[in-house]
């Protein structure tokens, strides 16, 4: 897979234009040549994987994207005001210039275009791949009925691309098979062919779930040789996508009447994954634990240990061997052969979400002390966020020290090209490398992981059946880090805690942007008297002075103290304006019309 992901573009039908409705590829090989050879067919399939979402892609563009996409949410702020995320936070784009929707030449293709390319390539494969070329015999191991497996892979990839479109753009064009069952490949010379109405988002999500049903048991739930097949979609990924798609469908944004049947279907989908996983003969997916198991390390180690051998990861886009992530996440005072800029700054809103070690929100626990704020907290706080006094740096290279973000002279407060606007830096995904003698550690962010499945189950079961049957799932996630189990709550009380748990457990993994929208958290203005973790438009940070005996003062974050959210406009990105001009039946999303 790694070979084909990097070399398939040398001989396959590749994108060469800025618009998916225009001529998409230069024919260096004819379609017949590609699909008449087994290796070329395999390479074409591998090339479809290039279009999978990857949160680390942005770190390849330090100037414009070099921060977590949670910087478009209340979880974090980007220090670097040139980052595209900053103008999303302030609603500063139009349908004509939105870079994440439209793309920017030599920087990124844009989410609409990337997913449409992926769908087109998947349908090209489904229409042209041949069993007699690939082979489809009964075999032991992962290559059993290989052609059938390839077809299932392509269908699942196509479903993932459709899901990504729903997440970013809402209603989605369903580009599957025509009435005769032939995969749809629009004639690029006839832009009007794409002039179709989009399918309602809830119905599109159900279509995606149905596509998962077609392939989830046709693919191996796990590959027997995962070293060779790491990164390939499998049956577990299909079960996981169905779980997430039906959870989103059941949520308020797509289910305004709160149809309980939607919640029941979402609950069953998550349970189906868990049951299938539990039935494996050895090696099921599970929450990652360090060796020896240590609640103070389990969570952090999950995201810096070798991703290829991580039993919590169900599907990832790729492995990045780079120190760019370290440079762009670590506090700005670390430097040597390379230097850090630390541009993903978690907010006080996120920090305040972490409960005390008593299992209570900080505003509900009298033992919480704002002048000793990081003591006796959920262990994930220390494993996710660097704050005043955090110990960081390579000890062997004598770089280990306490982080100092105090004003005005703290070494980690701010430098010319980096710093913190909130008093915090991101530790999750950050390897503790030397900046004097840097290495390039392996990074990979999961598209699906087992912790999410448990939280999907907790949320959906609670909504469908109430708390009694939901506790087990959320408590398993909490148990990994030694947090006290939940019990004795009403449905609404547990629902609130599950949403908080999801925010903590899945932060910086591209969930918060969609979660806060599907829950429709923006429909009421923030009350200044509300706890910071319950405010979604006002963003907060901390000012630390007197580092020898720190004093903590809490207030609005620097530069971006408030977010702009216009409803219904900002629930989705705009479709690229040029696409709507070419295909007006797609229609622009509300609020984005030009």
Residue ranges and CATH numbers for the domains of the chain are: 1-51+109-213+564-594 (1.25.40.890)
Q: What are the strands, taking DSSP E only, across 416-550?
A: 425-426, 442-443, 446-449, 540-545
pLDDT of residue 11: 31
Under DSSP, is residue 265 helix (H, G, I), strand (E, B) or coil? helix
Q: Which two tokens stand for residue 56?
A: 């680390």
Question: Rounded distance, CA 185 to CA 190, Å?
Answer: 11
- Classify the C-alpha dihedral 106-111-112-114 as positive or negative: positive
Mean pLDDT value of segment 536-552: 97
**Do residues 475 and 481 lie in contact, with contact meaning Cβ atoms separated by under 8 Å?**
no
Q: Between these two residues, 58 and 503, which has the higher pLDDT value?
A: 503
Residue with tokens 């070690």: 357
Of 442, 457, 403, nearest to 426 (Cα)?
A: 403
Q: Between these two residues, 57 and 476, which has the higher pLDDT value?
A: 476
Question: Rounded distance, CA 422 to CA 344, Å?
Answer: 10
Question: Rounded distance, CA 375 to CA 369, Å?
Answer: 8
> For residue range 426-474, what is the model confidence (pLDDT) as tens digits?
999 999 999 999 999 999 989 999 999 999 999 999 999 999 999 999 9
Q: What are the strands, taking DSSP E only, across 427-491?
A: 442-443, 446-449
Look at residue 111 and tell me whether its pLDDT is greater than 50: yes
Look at residue 9 and tell me whether its pLDDT is greater than 90: no
Under DSSP, is residue 390 helix (H, G, I), strand (E, B) or coil? coil
Which residues lie closer than 8 Å to 435 by C-beta, 6 or more apart? 326, 330, 334, 335, 336, 337, 338, 339, 340, 394, 399
Question: Rounded distance, CA 240 to CA 270, Å?
Answer: 7
Instruction: Give the H/E segment covering residue 123.
Output: helix 111-128
- Classify the C-alpha dihedral 61-308-46-7 as positive or negative: positive
Look at residue 551 and tell me whether its pLDDT is greater than 50: yes
Grade residue 201 by pLDDT with cuts at 50, 70 and 90: very high
Q: What is the DSSP letter of 441?
A: -
**Do residues 474 and 455 lie in contact, with contact meaning Cβ atoms separated by under 8 Å?**
yes
Look at residue 582 and tell me whether its pLDDT is greater than 80: yes
Look at residue 23 and tell me whether its pLDDT is greater than 50: no
User: Burial code of 468-499, b = ≥16 C-beta within 10 A, e = fewer?
Assistant: eebbebbbbbbebbebeebeebeeeebbebbb
User: Burial code of 97-124, b = ≥16 C-beta within 10 A, e = fewer?
Assistant: ebbbbbbbeeebbbbbbbbbbbbbbbbb
Q: Give the count of alpha carbons within 13 A of 451, CB side only.
A: 27
> For residue range 54-89, what is the model confidence (pLDDT) as tens digits?
989 889 899 999 999 999 999 999 999 999 999 999
Q: What is the DSSP letter of 377?
A: B
List beta partners, residue 377: 356
**Do residues 68 and 76 lie in contact, with contact meaning Cβ atoms separated by under 8 Å?**
yes
* This model's pTM is above 0.85: yes
Query: What are the two backbone dihedrals, phi and then psi, of residue 543, each rounded to the nearest 5 degrees?
Result: -110, 125
DSSP line for 20-77: TTS-----SS-HHHHHTSHHHHHHHHHHHGGGS--GGGGGG-HHHH-S-GGGGTTTEE
Q: Give the count of alpha carbons within 13 A of 421, CB side only.
A: 24
Grade residue 281 by pLDDT with cuts at 50, 70 and 90: confident
Look at residue 22 and tell me whether its pLDDT is greater than 90: no
Question: Rounded distance, CA 423 to CA 465, Å?
Answer: 41
pLDDT of residue 291: 85
pLDDT of residue 17: 29
Look at residue 7 and tell me whether its pLDDT is greater than 80: no
Mean pLDDT value of segment 108-127: 96
Mean pLDDT value of segment 245-271: 98
Query: What are the two backbone dihedrals, phi and then psi, of residue 157, each rounded to the nearest 5 degrees?
Result: -60, -45
pLDDT of residue 16: 29
Whole-number average pLDDT of the chain? 93
- What are the distances in angstroms from CA 325 to CA 124, 136, 143, 419, 431? 35, 42, 36, 15, 9
Grade residue 31 by pLDDT with cuts at 50, 70 and 90: confident
Mean pLDDT value of segment 163-181: 97
List beta partners, residue 321: 442
Q: What is the largest CA-CA distance in the chain?
A: 74
């Amino acid at each position: 897979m790694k070979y084909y992901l990097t070399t398939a573009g040398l001989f396959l039908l590749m994108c060469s234009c800025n618009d998916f409705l225009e001529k998409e590829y230069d024919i260096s090989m004819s379609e017949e040549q590609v699909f008449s050879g087994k290796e070329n067919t395999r390479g074409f399939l591998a090339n479809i994987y290039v279009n999978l979402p990857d949160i680390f892609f942005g770190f390849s563009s330090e100037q414009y994207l070099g921060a977590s996409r949670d910087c478009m949410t209340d979880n974090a702020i980007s220090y670097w005001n040139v980052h595209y995320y900053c103008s999303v936070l302030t609603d500063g784009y139009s349908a004509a210039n939105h870079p994440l929707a439209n793309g920017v030449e030599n920087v990124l293709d844009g989410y609409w275009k990337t997913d449409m390319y992926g769908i087109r390539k998947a349908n090209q494969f489904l229409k042209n791949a041949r069993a007699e070329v690939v082979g489809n015999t009964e075999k032991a191991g992962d290559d059993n009925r290989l052609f059938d497996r390839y077809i299932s892979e392509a269908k699942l990839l196509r479903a993932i691309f459709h899901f990504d479109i729903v997440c970013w753009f809402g209603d989605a064009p369903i580009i599957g098979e025509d009435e005769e069952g032939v995969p749809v490949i629009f004639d690029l010379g006839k832009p009007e062919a794409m002039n179709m109405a989009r399918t309602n988002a809830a119905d599109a999500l159900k279509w995606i779930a149905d596509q998962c049903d077609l392939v989830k048991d046709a693919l191996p739930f796990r590959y027997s040789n995962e070293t060779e097949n790491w990164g390939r979609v499998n049956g577990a990924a299909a079960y996981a996508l169905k779980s997430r798609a039906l959870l989103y469908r059941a949520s308020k944004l797509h289910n305004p009447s709160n149809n309980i049947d939607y919640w029941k279907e979402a609950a069953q989908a998550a349970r189906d994954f868990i049951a299938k996983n539990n039935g494996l003969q050895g090696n099921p997916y599970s929450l990652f634990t360090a060796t020896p198991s240590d609640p103070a390390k389990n969570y952090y180690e999950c995201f810096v240990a070798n991703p290829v051998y991580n039993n919590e990861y169900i599907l990832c886009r790729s492995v990045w061997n780079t120190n760019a992530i370290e440079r762009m996440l670590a506090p700005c005072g670390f430097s040597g052969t390379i230097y850090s800029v630390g541009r993903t700054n978690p907010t006080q809103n996120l920090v305040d979400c972490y409960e005390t070690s008593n299992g209570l929100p900080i505003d509900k626990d009298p033992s919480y002390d704002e002048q000793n704020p990081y003591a006796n907290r959920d262990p994930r706080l220390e494993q996710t966020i660097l704050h005043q006094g955090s110990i960081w740096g390579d000890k062997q290279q004598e770089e280990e020290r306490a982080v100092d973000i105090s004003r005005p002279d703290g070494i980690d407060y701010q430098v010319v090209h980096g710093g913190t606007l909130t008093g915090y830096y991101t530790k999750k995904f950050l390897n503790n490398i030397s900046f004097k003698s840097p290495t390039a550690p392996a990074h990979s962010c999961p598209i699906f992981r087992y912790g999410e499945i448990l939280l999907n189950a907790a949320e959906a079961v609670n909504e469908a059946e109430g708390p009694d049957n939901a506790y087990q799932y959320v408590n398993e996630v909490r148990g990994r880090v030694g947090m006290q189990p939940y019990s004795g709550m009403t449905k609404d009380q547990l629902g609130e805690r599950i949403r908080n748990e999801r925010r903590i457990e899945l932060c910086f993994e591209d969930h918060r942007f969609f979660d806060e929208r599907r829950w429709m958290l923006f429909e009421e203005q923030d009350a200044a008297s509300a706890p910071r973790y319950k405010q979604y438009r006002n963003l907060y940070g901390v000012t630390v002075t007197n580092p020898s005996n720190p004093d903590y003062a809490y207030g609005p974050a620097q530069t971006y103290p408030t977010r702009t959210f216009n409803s219904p406009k900002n629930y989705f990105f705009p479709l690229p304006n040029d696409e709507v001009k070419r295909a007006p039946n797609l229609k622009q999303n509300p609020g984005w019309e030009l």
